[in-house]
Structure 1
């Protein structure tokens, strides 16, 4: 079972560590364990408790009332809220608990109900994508283990692939062609798959090369298919070449082609980028770019 620091609980629940300590002292809400060297830590049950407390608090329950609830009462109240939840934050909390518990049934219920209510794309933009951002923070801070991350990522991946399959149709001759790839060493392709879906959903063509693409192979594919745009995502720190140098190579080798680049190693970094590099901060920014190239706005 995973161990968590109070900072981990803060990152995952959004409740400040200072507030958690006050609740601990005033209400005995959680009781930290201690290592053999007397370092405080919290376990997975504590994390689930605080996520449930956060959900109840966000839905109007006072902390004094929450602290008086039994585990069974709290569980039932959270389930009632989850069944009628309309806020995206509540759904994200639900997905977080599904990931921690490796609960596929809860995941399916959240995704299916939201897809029926607001459609797959809005579910991705308003629930899944913010959730993936949260997973990224959890991964960086070692707040989730690889099994939990792989479990939830593969479930989401399956949903996106099914949605992409539903986009195959005859393209207009004037449809733009995008070539999507991840550089060598980049293996997490969920965001790239979602970009694939968004581009196809607006009637454009995609040549999808996937993860870990060697530069030479990218050049061969580019020469064969001559895309209008390249799109890549860079999130991995450890590579043989710096992000800035890699992007400079891309820009020089495909100098007549706009290159769309997203990812934590690019966005918000102080990089010197060449003119044909276009930074894409988030999916909505990508949609704006796609629709601008098509010369009209597509409703969503």
Structure 2
């Protein structure tokens, strides 16, 4: 069982710690435990409850009414709400609850419902990708445990592979070599980039997780791609990210290198002329649209 500070609850639910304390005192919504050194903490049940409470409260249900409801009643109301709500924040909230509960059936229902309503690409851009970015940061800070993060990542990965396999084959276009650095296992952004690139009619050479430098070079020599794309979430660490980017620039000087990820965005890095920082997955989408415009002009 995971443990959470009130700051963790704030980050996951979006409810200010001050408000949580008021609800705790006035409505007995939460039951914090204490460590041997008298430090307050919360468990999974507390987190699930406050996520459900937050979702209902954000949709106009008064906290006094929520406090009078049994836990099963709260959960059922949340399920009804997420089935009919179209707001992105509510759907992200529902996925967060599914992650905490490790409820595969509920997660799949939420995801499939959104794909049916919005289409795969818009679901990824507006719901799944923001959700995964949020979860990645929370995992980094220890607010959620690796098992929860892996549970959701694998479910999303399965959906993405199916979507990628369903893409039509096109002749022509540019070649993109997609890979993650050695030790890097967070693959969702790379998979979504693969989906977007293929959807625009370009060719993808996909190497995936933890690619050794020598393997990367061998594949590069065979395919000579115009673009390389990588995502740096945890490895290399911020301390070595600049060195890694410089080495890519020198080794693959004839190609444009696209880099993004937690260790890149917002960091104090210098990018060589053949390296382009992608702040968000939408940047990749916009770049692909630019390539399409250039191709059409020709």
Q: 1:269 to 1:77 in 2, by over 3 A?
A: same
Aligned to 1:225: 223
Structure 2 Cα separation of the partners of residues 165 and 245 of structure 1: 35
Q: TM-score, normalization: structure 2?
A: 0.94
Q: After the TM superposition, which residues 1-300 of structure 1 pair with which residues of structure 2 at under 5 Å, given as runs? A: 1-169=1-169, 171-173=170-172, 175-237=173-235, 242-295=240-293
Following superposition, the deviation at residue 165 of structure 1 comes to: 0.3
Structure 1 Cα separation of the partners of residues 85 and 139 of structure 2: 27
Following superposition, the deviation at residue 102 of structure 1 comes to: 1.3
Give unpaired runs (5+ residues) of structure 2. none
Structure 2 Cα separation of the partners of residues 38 and 241 of structure 1: 36
- CA deviations 1:270-295 (Å, max 9, x no partner) are 11111111011111110001111222
CA contact (8 A) 1:8 1:141 kept: no
Aligned residue pair count = 296
- CA deviations 1:205-248 (Å, max 9, x no partner) are 00111111122221221111010111011112556981111111
* 3-state SS, counterpart of residue 232 of structure 1: strand
Following superposition, the deviation at residue 75 of structure 1 comes to: 2.2
CA contact (8 A) 1:199 1:205 kept: yes
Please give the root-mean-square deviation of Cα atoms over the aligned residues, in Å: 1.8
Q: 1:81 to 1:255 in 2, by over 3 A?
A: same
* 3-state SS, counterpart of residue 36 of structure 1: coil
CA contact (8 A) 1:198 1:287 kept: yes
Following superposition, the deviation at residue 71 of structure 1 comes to: 2.0
CA contact (8 A) 1:179 1:227 kept: yes
Following superposition, the deviation at residue 36 of structure 1 comes to: 2.3
Structure 1 Cα separation of the partners of residues 76 and 252 of structure 2: 57
Structure 1 Cα separation of the partners of residues 114 and 234 of structure 2: 31
Following superposition, the deviation at residue 22 of structure 1 comes to: 1.4
- CA deviations 1:83-125 (Å, max 9, x no partner) are 2111111111111111111111101111111111111111111
